[in-house]
Amino acid sequence: MLISIPVGCPFHKISEDFKPFDLSNPFPFYKKSRDEQPVFYSQELGYYVVTRYDDIKAIFSNWKTYTSENAQSSFKPMSPKAKQLMEVQGMIGLSGLSGRIPPDHTRIRRIVSMAFGLGRFKKLEPRIRALAIEMISQFKDDGHAEIIKQLAYDLPALVIFMLLGVPNEDVQQVKSWAESRLLITWGDLDEDQQLIHAQNMVNYWNYCQNLVALRKDTPSDDLPGDLVKLQAEGHEITDKEIAAVCYSQLFAGHETTTSLIGNGIRELLSHPESWQAICEDNTLIPNAIEEILRYSPSIVSWRRKALEDTVVGGVEIPAGSNLLLVMGSANRDETNFPETDTFDITRTNAKEHLSFGYGIHFCLGSPLAKLEFKTVLEEFTRLVPNLRLTQNQDFKFALNTSFRAPVALETEWV
Ligand code: HEM
């Protein structure tokens, strides 16, 4: 017989304490779950929730049993009208990579990796640095700044636009379309709102298809240009698959990186000795970024679906069940990270965090996200070394299951 591991009160269900959409401070609940019931069913979500490091890593590693096909499906079912609009455009089930499975996933990821290597990211570095300097210089003499609005939101979006080769004049339009993706998938919209956002997604999808068509006539030094070139050289990838990869990049690489910058600056300034240390020695920045990703991840949970009857942490999971893998908890699992609630930028195994996933879907853009934040920190510590948090701030976090970052971050300096 299979036994789950609960050690707390046998009549108390931990799921009653679970507040899946409130990410303001989920860490005490995560600890309680790891200690008492590391795998439990949430009635509210209709998901099995998994909170221990080893269980989550094992699930990420086993794509045959746990598919990622549900990773980006809407938590709330789409209204018939919105669904029909997207169906007509061939957008239902559309995924760049993260919702695909082998063999398609393997084939497409291999080709995208060729276009997405360190060479492409390194080429972007001087432009990222120039952008960071320009944005910081705009508020440097004010003595205060709201970091999300004045830096962290726009910078990663502009970098993705560089990667995709979106011209400056299209940036505002594309940005407003792309934001609809988050709202449709993780938000709580009524039918009319769904229809508006579905139309935006259709517009953005058509824009991406057009990006690919343009590269056929005029080669260009950007991601769609590289993928069209690889296709012409005989690599097996269709126009629609290239467009889908471009379509998903903006979402995959924008707000995730905004959150990294927001969480990171907040943690570094909340632990002023860490900020001081990176100001004095920039070589500490890369490991500090890993510790930020461990301690305060941009994405606290990600999804999988069980394809067969299985067992996780002693709990039976029937085929067809949805699972919510709480990486925000795995990263604080004391079996892997001693003194886990201490923010330590010199922690030697910080990089073992699961914030970029693990296994065949491991985040392809992680070097770019880290490069962006490293560049921002190098310039920030140089230009505004006496940066500090504005006192008495009440940090707010958007209501959703997975994306965690302060909505605003007020800072000041003299
Ligand atoms: C701090 C920033 C970021 C975080 C926390 C993050 C996190 C993640 C996570 C959790 C996954 C799913 C992993 C899995 O299912 O096992 C993922 C996949 C992916 N990410 Fe990121 N990401 C970030 C930045 C980026 C950027 C900047 C890009 C692109 C420019 C990007 C592109 C991708 C792609 C293409 C995948 C799908 C890979 C696949 O399925 O094979 N990400 N990322």
Report the atom number in ligand 1 closest to the C-alpha of 160. 30
Kindly report the backbone phi and psi dihedral angles of residue 81, in degrees, each rounded to the nearest multiple of 5, phi listed first: -65, -45
* Residue of the CA atom closest to atom 18 of ligand 1: 363
- Reduced 3-state DSSP string for 159-201: HHHHHHCCCHHHHHHHHHHHHHHHHHHHCCCCHHHHHHHHHHH
pLDDT, position 11: 53
Show the domains of the chain with their CATH numbers. 55-304+365-412 (1.10.630.10)
- The letter for the amino acid at 327 is M
Ligand 1 within 6 A of CB of 296: no
* Residue of the CA atom closest to atom 13 of ligand 1: 357
Residue 239, Cβ density class (10 Å: 0-12 exposed, 13-18 middle, ≥19 buried): middle
pLDDT of 92 over the 90 cut: no
pLDDT of 9 over the 50 cut: no
Which one of 125, 355, 356, 403 would you pick to mutate in the ligand 1 pocket, going by the greatest count of ligand atoms within 8 A of its CB?
Answer: 356
Listed in order, strand segments (DSSP E) in 174-321 are 302-306, 310-312, 315-317
pLDDT, position 6: 42
Neighbours of 88 (CB within 10 A): 10
pLDDT of 345 over the 80 cut: yes
Which stretch of DSSP H or E encloses residue 277? helix 272-280
Neighbouring-strand partners of residue 306: 66
pLDDT of 245 over the 60 cut: yes
In sequence order, the 6+-apart residues with CB closer than 8 A to the CB of 351 are: 287, 290
* Residue of the CA atom closest to atom 29 of ligand 1: 365
- pLDDT grade for 399, boundaries at 50, 70 and 90: confident
In whole angstroms, give the CA distance from residue 84 to residue 80: 6
- pLDDT, average across residues 100-105: 93
pLDDT of 39 over the 90 cut: yes
Averaged pLDDT of the chain: 92
Contact of 241 with 182, CB cutoff 8 Å: no
Report the atom number in ligand 1 closest to the C-alpha of 97. 40
Q: Give the position of tokens 């695909």.
A: 100
- Is the pTM above the cut of 0.75? yes
Report the atom number in ligand 1 closest to the C-alpha of 372. 27
- pLDDT grade for 184, boundaries at 50, 70 and 90: confident
- Ligand 1: distance of its center to the CA of 386 in Å? 33
pLDDT of 68 over the 90 cut: yes
pLDDT of 1 over the 50 cut: no
Ligand 1 within 6 A of CB of 159: no
Ligand 1 within 6 A of CB of 249: yes
